[in-house]
Amino acid sequence: MENTAPKLRIIYGDCTLGIKTNDKHYIFSYTRGGLESLKKHGKEWLYRETMPTFWRALTDNDRGSGFGYRSNMWLGAGLYPIVKGFTVRINEEEIKQPTAPNNNQYSNEEYAKTAEIIFTLEINTVPQTVVDVAYFVQGNGDLRIKMTYHGQKGLPELPLLGLRFIMPTKAKHYEYEGLSGETYPDRKAGGIPGIYKVEGLPFPPYLVPQDCGVHMDTKWLEITRDQTLNNADHSKEEFSLRFEKTTENFAFSALPFKAEELENATHIEELPPERRTVLTMLAKVRGVGGINSWGADVEAPFHISGEEDHEFSFTVK
């Protein structure tokens, strides 16, 4: 009987690893240290490679408490990571030096049941730390991602810890199962569990732009778009990408701006045009506080230690 088990096609590039399934195509960059292309049914989902992120645009309460002064090194920490190493495993066996010229030993017809690539990224902090991001492609094409942050004594508190997906165009809407409305670790008691649909990428007209739009305790999220950057693709048909928890619920934000764009703007008219979807899958996010905005810090249980290890995982479908 013919073996009908799911198969992954493996493409060993000079400095990339390609993995194709029936409906998805992944390209991982050895030099960039992340997933640089994710296509589902021929539609591209990434505008930039996936990267760990540590900064959120300061809130009024953050400014008032001096949090930016204490933790400002995290603003640039996620912008310029260095790839210290990577490991490729095919069918759970490590592949030594899969880059050029060694990749010439492989044909265009290489297949596997599973594939994994783990990047070790050096983060420019003082003291220095590293983050490991593991991408595991299962036989059915689902992608499981696990990120591990290695704390170092002396590092300041983190604003947040997550993995950022910058998508080529704005989402038409997104749907998720979690808590209603905007919720943060210290502002979620009123959130009602359920399934919710959000049109577009709402952004409140704050006088001074700041972080917003976090959704806590999420089981799954589905982002829907109807436009691409492919000039030959004139279809307006909707297409979606789904994110699911593995073991623990996750938090996320979906905004039309990156955190550094929000941080650079002192007024809303200084923000760039809304062109992309910036999805941040969150392992941790700092509370917002609110005792006052002129000195009171976020309560201690809602801080994120930079000295401790943190990890989280989720699945992309």
Q: Supply the range of the domain harboring residue 195.
A: 8-316
Tell me how far apart the alpha carbons of residues 39 and 23 are, in angstroms, rounded to a whole number: 8
2 lies in some domain: no
Q: Structurally, how many domains does the chain consist of?
A: 1
Say if CB 158 and CB 284 are below 8 A apart.
Answer: yes
CATH number of the domain encompassing residue 240: 2.70.98.10
**Closest Cα to residue 131, out of 145, 116, 115, 114?**
145
Q: Would you say residue 192 has pLDDT above 70?
A: yes
55 lies in some domain: yes
Give the per-residue pLDDT at 184.
Answer: 98
Average pLDDT of the chain is 96
261 lies in some domain: yes
Q: Would you say residue 5 has pLDDT above 80?
A: no
157 lies in some domain: yes
Confidence band, pLDDT 50/70/90 cuts, at residue 4: low
**Using one digit for the tens of pLDDT, what is the confidence trace for 140-154?**
999 999 999 999 999
126 lies in some domain: yes
3 lies in some domain: no
Per-residue tokens: 84: 């210290």
Q: Would you say residue 31 has pLDDT above 80?
A: yes
270 lies in some domain: yes
Give the per-residue pLDDT at 1.
Answer: 45
**Using one digit for the tens of pLDDT, what is the confidence trace for 54-74?**
999 999 999 999 999 999 999
- For residue 58, give the DSSP letter: P
Q: What are phi and psi of 54, to 5 degrees?
A: -130, -10
1 lies in some domain: no
3-class SS of residue 274: coil
Burial of 5-28, coded b for 16+ CB within 10 Å and e otherwise, reads: eeebbbbbeeebbbbbbeebbbbb
